[in-house]
Copies of this chain bind each other. A is one copy, B any other.
Amino acid sequence: MINGERVIKRPLRWGMVGGGRTANVGYKHRQGALRDNTAFELVAGAFDIDPERGKDFGVNIGVTSERCYPDYKTMFAEEAKREDGIEVVTIATPNGTHYEITKAALESGLHVICEKPLFFEVEQGLEMKALAEKMNKIVGVTYGFSGSQLLLQMRQMVKNGDLGDIHMVELQYTHGFGCDAAGDVKSEGQKWRVDPKVAGPSFVLGDLSTHTFYMSELICPDLKLKQILCDRQSFIGSRYPLEDNAYVLMRYENGAVGRLWTSAVNAGCMDGHRIRIIGSKASVEFSDNQPNELIYQVQGEPIRKMIRSMPYLYDECNADERLGALHAEGLIESWANIYLKFAIAIEAKNNGDEETLKNLVYPDLDAGIEGIRWVTKCVESADKGGVWVDFQEINNQEEII
């Protein structure tokens, strides 16, 4: 159970790139990182593409004026000169800039926490992996929905065989806010997401389903994807070739199968994520509009609703509990859990504590790379007409090289 007492020795000095006044997600990063003021302290930022607005904002959230920088390059350079300079930076900018900023941050000796989807190409991910290893830094990815402790409960149930052999993985992350094409023009947050130059080769596959795919890996670490098939659509035609809806079928190495549906045009849907893991004898289901419960269905027994914080949950789950029974947690607790694990990972990396790093369940650089692979292969399958493609190989040439 988390009660706000320090878990690492002292709070890490933290800066942000992006995440300013007009970016909803920036506030989520801060609420997650600063939950207890014992893991991170926000000391610097290049919050906004508009430097004046960025400085005004930074001061308003408590950053000293001189450490509100006009851009990330200046921040990295200036902070590197300070004794009390930042140790870790969060990158909360549009997708197309993640690669260059991550590279610069690592080269500046910073740990990195980056928004998803990480980059556009698996090769970029592998390059950053080599760089991070060389610099002895971690790169974390903010799959912000993946911090719910009930996902760890699911992971433990799978591990302990409560479901029997895993047969199916049913994934959904859909909403309907993309039904109105006007948002593509009017909304700052939406505009770049449907622009291939900034968003990359996909809209909802990258923006939404990378979360869900990671969550499925977190729950079922032993399932290895063998082949996938993707059919994608652009119901709002102007989004083409970026999809606003996609169906994916999965085949795993062990014979398990799965489905994923991601959409911004599931009109009226307010559910967000739904994850159902089906085993030979039972299933377990999570929906993030009911984030305080799991549905556990053993074939032939009454349907069970398991409630967050109750003693019948596994210790691995309740370790991340904060509020106790009858007290609803929400998305921000998920972010807080992830950021706390980033902090633990950073401290462990600094200390060369590989044992801690090995056992820590959090969205690390490998998870980010798998997310890039996911988007890449889905797009490849869809663009070939909705055919089965092998998941692990990027393309034949690469393999040969």
* Interface residues, chain A, with chain B CB atoms under 8 Å away: 3-6, 11, 21, 24, 27-28, 30-31, 34-38, 57, 60-62, 163-164, 167-168, 170, 175-177, 179-180, 229, 231, 233, 235, 245, 247, 249, 251, 255, 257, 259, 261, 263, 265-270, 272, 278-283, 288-292, 296-307, 310-312, 322-333, 385-388
Contacts and interface: CB of A to CB of B under 8 A. Distances in A.
Contacts of A270: 297, 303, 307, 325-326
A324 B231 CA distance: 29
Main secondary structure of the interface of A (DSSP, over half): loop
A292 B303 CA distance: 13
B385 A388 contact: yes
- Could you say how many copies of this chain the assembly holds? 4
Given A231-B257, A245-B257, A327-B330, A268 B282 contact: yes
Given A30-B36, A268-B299, 10 more contacts: A11-B62, A31-B35, A37-B62, A177-B299, A229-B229, A229-B386, A247-B249, A267-B281, A288-B326, A302-B312
13 contacts: A3-B21, A4-B27, A36-B61, A167-B265, A179-B280, A229-B229, A247-B249, A259-B259, A300-B312, A303-B305, A303-B307, A323-B332, A329-B330
A268 to B, nearest CB: 2
A331 B327 contact: yes
A259 to B, nearest CB: 6
A245 B5 CA distance: 36
Contact of A330 (B11, B296, B328): B328
Given A163-B267, A270-B325, A332-B323, A299 B388 contact: no
Contact of A164 (B35, B249, B267, B325): B267
Nearest to A309: B270
Nearest to A292: B289
A386 B249 contact: yes
A31 B4 contact: yes
A320 to B, nearest CB: 14
Given A175-B326, A303-B268, A4 B28 contact: no
9 shortest interchain CB distances as A-B pairs? A268-B297, A330-B330, A328-B330, A302-B304, A5-B60, A303-B305, A176-B299, A327-B331, A267-B299
B5 A57 contact: yes
A34 B31 CA distance: 10
A297 to B, nearest CB: 2
A267 B278 contact: yes
A330 B291 CA distance: 9
A386 to B, nearest CB: 6
Contacts of A301: 268, 312
A153 to B, nearest CB: 11
A210 to B, nearest CB: 16
Given A61-B6, A322-B27, A269 B245 contact: no
Nearest to A58: B5
